[in-house]
Structure 1
Amino acid sequence: MTKKILFLLLLISSITFGQHIVKGTMSPKIKTDWLILYKLEGTKQVFVNNTTIKTDSVLIGGKKEVVSSFQIRLPSSAKPGAYRATYNLEGAGFIDFFYNKENVSFIFNPEYPQQSVVFSESSENIFYANYLNDITAAQQKLDSTQVAVLQDPSLDLKDSYKQAYKNVDSIQNKYVEDAKDMFIAPFIKASSRNNPSEILTSVTAYLDNIKGTYFNKLDFSNKALVNSSFLTNRILDYIFYINYSEDLQQQQILHKNAIETILSKIKSESYKRDIIEFLIEQFESAKNLDIIDYLFESQYNKLSPSLQDAKFKEEKQALFAAEVGRIAPDFSWTENGKKFKLSTLNDAESYVLVFWSTSCSHCLREIPELYTYMKTKPNLKVIAFALEKDTFVWDNYQKSNLRGWHNVLGLNKWENETAQTYQVFSTPSYFVLDKNKKIIAKPNEINDVKEFLKDK
């Protein structure tokens, strides 16, 4: 009976996981011992399988090297598409490849995976890698000829340019023809640059051509392209590199125009939503609130209500509720029997809102220093929000040491609702507010507070 059960389990396992295997070798070796395989679906990653990473000694170029390697079996239900093997969760280390019903084997340097990967098995990936090598070399020859004329318009390189142009065109057409029955065919078509047939003598004309023809070969309705990193990478390049200005105000305008151009190309409302959410997260790292607000107000909120993710909106809006440029989230407190509210406070030109605690050693050092310093700033007022577990120590401390300040008690410490709204995870945490309670600075420590307030 036991043997039959074991046999059935093995049979189920063999049915669930097909015969195709992905093998990877990383040189030099890495410290991480776990790898997760995803399938890319739009801007999302869908879990497929995971495995351990092993350390092996292998011969590379005739020399024995210690490398990291993994082998992961694909389920029989695995569909052709773009896949991502993630091996470094904290550093976002990953390698992308295509799968189309065949084994995939490759070796790469984990420090720069996509630039170093060499495929030893998988006709699709080998073909695409050869295409990228050939077309890149030919395109670089064409570009170097074009750039030489832009740098020195007196040069006569028309014939050289035409020859390089024909070479690029020939390589592109050959690969398109040879790949017509392959999964990676749309990627080869979409990778083609729109080069002008004649050399350009103006930098403006050159840049206008790049920008004006950027989307000519990009098909936002092609499922293979959509379900890969190809289009998202092109979108990021268009927003952050093609549309770039050193002037910050002009850069914001360029960002918005670029986003509108991109979204106008996307007909699928669900994919458009995914791209908007993706862009919000891209601008999140730079805390570009103006663009994030624009993406929500002018783009996301105009989608069909059924497509909008209320939880996503709530989380992102809460994340930036207390950033510089925002009106400080409101809260109320009672002081000497009188009720106060941050939004209606009007007894100073500016305010320092500090979250602190009597159980915080840094606070007990910095709060007295802040108290002494603020005596030199009669037009400024401090709102000291104490995060405490109980009232006793705080009540005695603030009565004896913090007279003249607005003292607020916030019970439940880190679980305090106001502290969570302000994303306070350590004390002391400082916020400088103007008269209208707009956050104008978030100093890291007392010396930063003094530096910011020295001219106020």
Structure 2
Amino acid sequence: MKKIYILSAVLSAFSLQAQFTVTVQTPSEFKDQDAILYTLNGSKDIIVTKEQNKNNIWTFKYPNHYMGMMKVYFPASNNAVNFISENKNVSIKMDVQNNKLKDVIYLDEANDLMSKQQESSQKKELILPALAQIKEYYKDNTEFGKALKSEIEKLGGMSNSIDPTQHPFISYYNTNYNKFLSNSTDPAKKINQDDIVNFLDKSNDMLESSSLLRPVLVSYLNSGGNTNVTGSVDTLLERLKVETPRGQTVLSELIDIFDAYDMAEFKTKYLTLAKNLKCTITDRLATTLKSNANVEMGAAFPNIKFQSPANTSAKSLYDVKADKKIIVFWSSTCSHCESELPQLLAKYNDLKAKNIQIIGLSLDTDKNSYTQKIAAFPWINDSELRGWNSSYVDTYNVHATPTYFILDANNKIINKPDHVGNVLEYFKLK
């Protein structure tokens, strides 16, 4: 009996230890204190833990087995470092300039190898075809012709083959990226829908953590053509079964894809399917359902506490009193915003006279760019300055900028215009 207790104590102690650690080093001039570690589920970043700076080193302990994409995010400066895990310790060194990420040095074997593989793949895809065309204009016996030939042979000879026993995730990623997402013109490598369905059905858990799921699903929809979207999706979901975690993750991704590509008919159909499921719902699908429920017609628009609001003393969205509110998610780098927001500006006084408030919530990352832009906008402006890492994205189901909502005096959603013209038309100002 004594031996059993000893063994039990050893196992308990072992279970408390991390499967692996992630260590990030930065120069002393880097000012951030907090950093957040994320894993990946489909196309969604999943928060694991937050750590604080200790002598410009952040050390994260990951308690479970994990192979896939990861990210460390520094919210104060909006810097992010992407890397992979093969369930082994990860070590990263950041080079920064003016508190912004300048370069990343991967000190562990897996990430160093993955980085080099990615670089060689990009050269083969982007540079090799261009060099092959240029070579036609130079003879092989010239100095430049010889250099071109040498570089073409070098790039053409680059191999992305990896021993799967040594680097299972890199092998998985490279193999399936090359098979399903490369722009190969070789007819022998052409992939059909059945191939993709089989892959999505039979693949191991690295599918969800690989970042491949979303682009493979887009490829699947494209391969079926616009006339057979429902048939393609139904075939896939029937095979995967929406009661399973894989099926629900795929269903969630499809709903987001239809939302992002403005395919409202299909989004409604499969969002309704998700709502009517009687089985246990995964966290991934629950997030999609919640995000969509937040912005349904008639729903109370979730309140948000302002960070550093301009043109108001209000502390939150609900503190703003008006007969109606126009909410616009935008960015100073968004070309559509560049053309649409001046149209709102031209009608600002007319809207204000009707006690209609405009509230701009920016998905900017650069404070200077954001500050310069809002100087021309007299309405309420605020931003977390975290870009697509902003809390706005999931809370308000934002997939593109600009995105508009019209609220009544009680902050209920009464209209979801597609464009600024629809906003002005709603208020009879067009």
TM-score, length basis structure 2: 0.50
Instruction: Tell which has more relative contact order, 1 or 2 (C-alpha 8 A, sep 6+).
Output: 2
- Radius of gyration: which is bigger? 1
